[in-house]
Structure formats: structure tokens, C-alpha cells
Structure 1
């Protein structure tokens, strides 16, 4: 099993990995969750898949087990910034604007984690290991990018696995139904992991 952090600068070195990641997102979010999201050629994408973002893939032999997208909270592309902030600003119909307890941050030390998934095809006996690889790589990548905090919108069952993964995680917003799934904004403090 491999874990890779992708960027526009290194796509060329990883063959079909990025396309396979977008295909796995399509399967997870459009096919399985039945969310109405942009798609092309069997791949899911949105306005936040820009050169400012990074993508983490847990994979083996061309199969994607899990993925995450990291986006700086300082980014801007036209009217868009990052997903959580844009939802709070009322720009996204599919996510409630009251998703955070406080105003969405804009800081070089805060990155957003979005499009988090573990493929439904990932065997149950591998899931815990896949999850650990995904979280470890996300933490390391965010730290290398200068983040001391990650803000995410994830399934609301996070308290079950946060401590197991060794994350300093807390609720940053209310639990809300998005497309039939309970989700919640969370804040991951990376400061303790920076030593």
C-alpha cells in the first residue's frame, strides 16, 4: 500500500493516479452518495481542484482506497476561496451557511481538508490501516505546507476514530445533514505535532 501527495507540479510523475483519484471520488460522492456534483469522463471535480490544492491518495496497483484534498484558506479563484468559507458566505446551495461556530479563517497556517473518502470497495480488513495512512499523510503534508491547523468538513462519526488516530480534533460547527449523511466541521490542531 502506498500513500502519495499529489500536486500540479508532480502529476506527471504519477501516471494515472490523479485521474484514478477523481474516478474514485466520482464513485464515492456521485454514485454511492448520489450527490449532484460536476463530472466529466467518469471523474468528479469542482472549482476547488486548482493548482493551489494538494491531493492525498492511498492506493495500490492502480486502485484508490482513500483520498483527501487540502486547500489553503488563503486561496482565491474568481469569486471562490475554499469550500467551507464559500458555504458560510452562501455561495454553495448544497452546504448550509451556518456550518461553523465562528467566521471561516483566512490564514497561511490554516488549510482546509475536503473531499475526504474511503472507497466503498476498500476491503473491511484494510480500512483501519487505510484510514491511518490517509490521516498520517494528511498531517505530514499539511505540516510541510506550513499548516498548524486543518479545518475540515467530514462525516460526523469522527469522534469514534479521532483519538485512535492520535489527532487533536474538536468540533468547529454543528452536525448537519448533507445529502443524507450527517457531517460536521472539525478543527485539527497540528501545533503539538510540529516538534
Structure 2
């Protein structure tokens, strides 16, 4: 199992890995979860997949994607869009309630957003915990390398069950909300104590 952090600057060094990650996102989010999301050529994408973002991918030696995540700076801006959590709070996204945060969404160089976190549906149950832990550890490392002391993410509200197992300090930043039949919550992952 390997992890790679992709960017628009380095993705050409990793063959089909970026496309494979978007295909894996499509398979899970559109194929399995039945979410109404943009897709093209068998890949899921949205307005936040821009050169400002980075993608953390857990994969095998053959490039088969096991898990992935997108990191976007909270300072990003592309037309009317910034980052998913902030745009939802501003009412720009009709699929996520605007009351998802207790306070105003931050815009700060050391705060990034973690979004589209997934473990591929076809990862066997006996490997899912290990793959998920590898993804979260790689996400933390990538975030720190980008200068982030904090990441905001919209997660399944069961996060308190596994946060301690992967060694990430997490704090609720908003209420538990039902989105498409699943309880979700915005959480802050604090990486400040690990910055060097």
C-alpha cells in the first residue's frame, strides 16, 4: 500500500493515478451512493478540483485506488466559489445545509479543507480500517507539509469512534445534520501540535 499526494504540478509523474482517483470517486459517490454529482468520461469531479487543491491517494503498486481525499486552501477562490464548507454556509450549494458551522467559515492560510474523503467500496472489510488509517495519516502529513495547522471536513457523525485510533485531535465545528439519509458533521482536525 502506497500514498501519493497529487497536484497539478506533479500529476504527470504518476500516470493514470489522478484519473483513477476520479474514477474511484465516481464509482463510490455516483455509482454506489447514488449522489447527483458532475461526471465525465467515467470520472466524478466538481468546481473544487482546481490547481489550488491537492489530492491524497492511497493505492497499490498497480495504481488501483483504495482511498482518497482532496485538500483545498480556505483562501482559494474560483469565480463565485471558494471551498465547499464555506460555499455551503453562504447558500451556494443546495445539497448541504447552510447552518453547518457554529461560526463563520474561516479564510486563513494555515486552515485547509479536507473533502471527498473516501475508501473505495470494493476494499474488503478486513482491510478497510487499515486503509482508512493510512489515508488519515497521509492526509495529516500532506496538510502539515502545506503549512496547515488545521483542516475542516464534513464527515459522517460517527467520527468520535475512530478519531482516537488514527491519532488525530478532532473537534466538532457544527451541529449533526442529516444529508441524504446520513448524519454528518463539520469537524476540525488539529495538526498544530505536529508542525515542525
In the other structure, the counterpart of 2:28 is: 28
What is the TM-score normalised by the length of structure 2?
A: 0.97
Partner Cα separation in structure 1 for residue 91 and residue 49 of structure 2: 20
Partner Cα separation in structure 1 for residue 37 and residue 179 of structure 2: 13
Deviations 1:26-55 (A, max 9, x none): 011111111100000110000000000000
**Structure 1 residue 97 corresponds to structure 2 residue 98:** yes
Partner Cα separation in structure 1 for residue 182 and residue 57 of structure 2: 23
In the other structure, the counterpart of 1:165 is: 166
Partner Cα separation in structure 1 for residue 26 and residue 182 of structure 2: 17
CA contact (8 A) 1:33 1:179 kept: no
Deviations 1:80-105 (A, max 9, x none): 00000000000000000000111000
**Structure 1 residue 182 corresponds to structure 2 residue 171:** no
Shifted more, 88-97 versus 116-125: the winner is 116-125
In the other structure, the counterpart of 1:45 is: 45
Deviations 1:54-76 (A, max 9, x none): 00111112211111000000000
Over aligned residues, Cα RMSD in angstroms? 0.8
Partner Cα separation in structure 1 for residue 161 and residue 143 of structure 2: 22
CA apart distance, 1:183: 1.2
CA apart distance, 1:178: 1.5
**Structure 1 residue 11 corresponds to structure 2 residue 11:** yes
State the SS of the aligned residue for 1:75.
coil
Partner Cα separation in structure 1 for residue 33 and residue 146 of structure 2: 31
Which residues of structure 1 form unaligned runs of 5+?
Answer: none
Within-5 A mapping of 1:71-150: 71-150=72-151
Partner Cα separation in structure 2 for residue 73 and residue 117 of structure 1: 20
Partner Cα separation in structure 2 for residue 183 and residue 30 of structure 1: 18
CA apart distance, 1:118: 0.7
